[in-house]
Amino acid sequence: MSDDLGDLFARRFADKTAVVTGAASGIGAAIARRLIAEGATVVGLDIAEDALVAMAGEFGDAFLAAPADVTDEDAVSSAIAAGVERYSGIDLAFNVAGASRYGPITELAADDWDFTVDLVQKAVFLCVKHEARQLVAQGRGGAIVNVASLNAHIPMVGGSPYSTGKAGVEMFSKNAALELAPAGVRVNAVLPGLVDTPLVAPVMGFEPAKNMFLERIPMGRAAAPDEIAAPCLYLASDDASYVTGTSLMVDGGWEISNYANLTSLGAS
Ligand SMILES: NC(=O)c1ccc[n+]([C@@H]2O[C@H](COP(=O)([O-])OP(=O)(O)OC[C@H]3O[C@@H](n4cnc5c(N)ncnc54)[C@H](O)[C@@H]3O)[C@@H](O)[C@H]2O)c1
């Protein structure tokens, strides 16, 4: 790549401001770091206030720590308003915050269902609502990327609220794309497979469980958070100027692996 092209790539998001939820860890932190490296300013929402403050210390004027519980509409609206005030508007949004409670359906407490679906699904609605209001009011378009999961397509034992919530995020993103296209706001979803972040530390740190996951992944490894951040940034960039209402599976081939593989029996 010539220096000119390198500069262009490095400045892909110059003069853009992005809201990133879940910015304090894992995929959200990787998105925030990449955006800043490519010229953007970032409004980071998370409940992990200390980690946000540390990022603000590291990135200075390029990062606003906006602590907020994304399931709380007032907190979301105030945090986005703080970002708008600080950077005179927003251009992009990445809705990444997430976590889950697990349990078999016959035992699962309604509170655990509500906790999970509120966080992975309703919070995406609340964030898109307030991000999109701002983008529409500004009248210069924009792009929103919602992080769902492979589990939007593939169920998991004990994970019914998470999988159901993530499936809802995928469909909600299409609804939002439809409603916001006239305003020039694109909305897409990214569906990661296994990503090496604190969220899945219990799996990655327990070899037998990790190997059961890796057996399912044709590429034979988990993704690094940066490998999810990169396609998220692509969908938010002008390279994706005609892409809206779609879902991008980023799973090392996991979704396509669920068929009998007879090669170990000598089949070719
Ligand atoms: N790691 C994976 O394998 C994987 C796979 C598919 C999808 N995902 C999804 O990617 C997203 C990011 O996950 P990650 O792996 O980076 O996890 P992570 O735990 O590293 O980061 C999640 C962040 O969300 C924040 N958060 C949690 N609840 C919040 C709330 N109520 N309000 C605001 N912030 C809150 C956490 O504090 C944390 O900083 C999640 O939506 C997750 O479901 C992850």
pLDDT of residue 26: 98
**197 Cα to the center of ligand 1, angstroms:** 8
> Is 186 a residue whose pLDDT tops 60?
yes
Query: Would you list the domain boundaries of the chain?
Result: 3-243
Residue with CA closest to ligand 1 atom 20: 26
> Taking all residues of the chain, what is their mean pLDDT, rounded to a whole number?
95
* Test site for ligand 1: of 124, 195, 200, 213, most ligand atoms within 8 A of the Cβ: 195
**3 Cα to the center of ligand 1, angstroms:** 36
Mean pLDDT of 249-268: 88
pLDDT of residue 4: 58
Q: For every residue of the chain, which 3-state class applies, written as one string?
A: CCHHHHHHHHCCCCCCEEEEECCCCHHHHHHHHHHHHCCCEEEEEECCHHHHHHHHHHHHHHEEEEECCCCCHHHHHHHHHHHHHHHCCCCEEEECCCCCCCCCCCCCCHHHHHHHHHHHHHHHHHHHHHHHHHHHHHCCCEEEEEECCHHHCCCCCCCHHHHHHHHHHHHHHHHHHHHHHHHCEEEEEEEECCECCHHHHHHHCCHHHHHHHHCCCCCCCCECHHHHHHHHHHHHCHHHCCCCCCEEEECCCHHHHCCCCHHHHCCC
pLDDT of residue 202: 92
- 121-135 tens-digit pLDDT: 999 999 999 999 999
C-beta of residue 191 within 8 angstroms of C-beta of residue 250: yes
> Is 258 a residue whose pLDDT tops 90?
no
- What pTM did the predictor assign? 0.96
- What CATH number should be reported for the domain whose range is 3-243? 3.40.50.720
* Test site for ligand 1: of 27, 122, 191, most ligand atoms within 8 A of the Cβ: 27
Residue 1 pLDDT level (bands cut at 50, 70, 90): very low
- 90-123 tens-digit pLDDT: 999 999 999 999 999 999 999 999 999 999 999 9
| 163 in contact with ligand 1, CB cutoff 6 A | no
pLDDT of residue 106: 98
